[in-house]
Amino acid sequence: MERVIHSAADLDYATDLVMAEADLVQAHAALHAGAPVVVDVEMVGAGITRRETVCRLRDAEAGPGLTRSAHAIRLAYEQVGPGALWVIGNAPTALEELLTLDADPALVIGLPVGFVGAVESKAALRESGLPAVSNVSEKGGSAVAAAALNALLYHPTSAEEKL
């Protein structure tokens, strides 16, 4: 929560973020064991340090009933399979598409921003039962999504805590 608040300079995230400690513990372990990190846009990936990310937006194409962002999520899932950490900070349609897949994620950081579809897609994420970090308002974006993932990256592992 602290990294998200700091990245946005917005104290409202203290009451807006929704997450479960058990999900974060499991996601931390998966991340530090090398699970892939998938992002919806390159800006989210640019904010994630210490880790390569997968972003397939450049390869994606919109089609009937399918946004470019949704297609990028399909392409990324074909590439990484189950067990990835998904970081969505821009496109509600990317989050909606992820929820249609049998992605079995280690964690979904679902923080798309905007007035069209963002609140609804985040509510659907919370209702899905998937391990997740989300928020209830229209707020979100690349910086806060990357900050949430970086919090897991920079939190020490058990081995590092013993040093």
Active site residues: 6
What torsion do the CA atoms of 29, 35, 41, 45 make, to the nearest 10 degrees? 70
Kindly state the tokens that stand for 63: 């089609």
- What stretches of 9-117 show up as alpha helix (H) in DSSP? 13-16, 21-32, 42-47, 68-80, 92-100
* Main-chain phi, psi angles of 49, to 5 degrees: -105, 160
Q: What distance in Å separates the CA atoms of residue 27 and residue 66, rounded to the nearest whole number?
A: 29
Q: What distance in Å separates the CA atoms of residue 95 and residue 14, rounded to the nearest whole number?
A: 22
Q: What distance in Å separates the CA atoms of residue 109 and residue 97, rounded to the nearest whole number?
A: 14
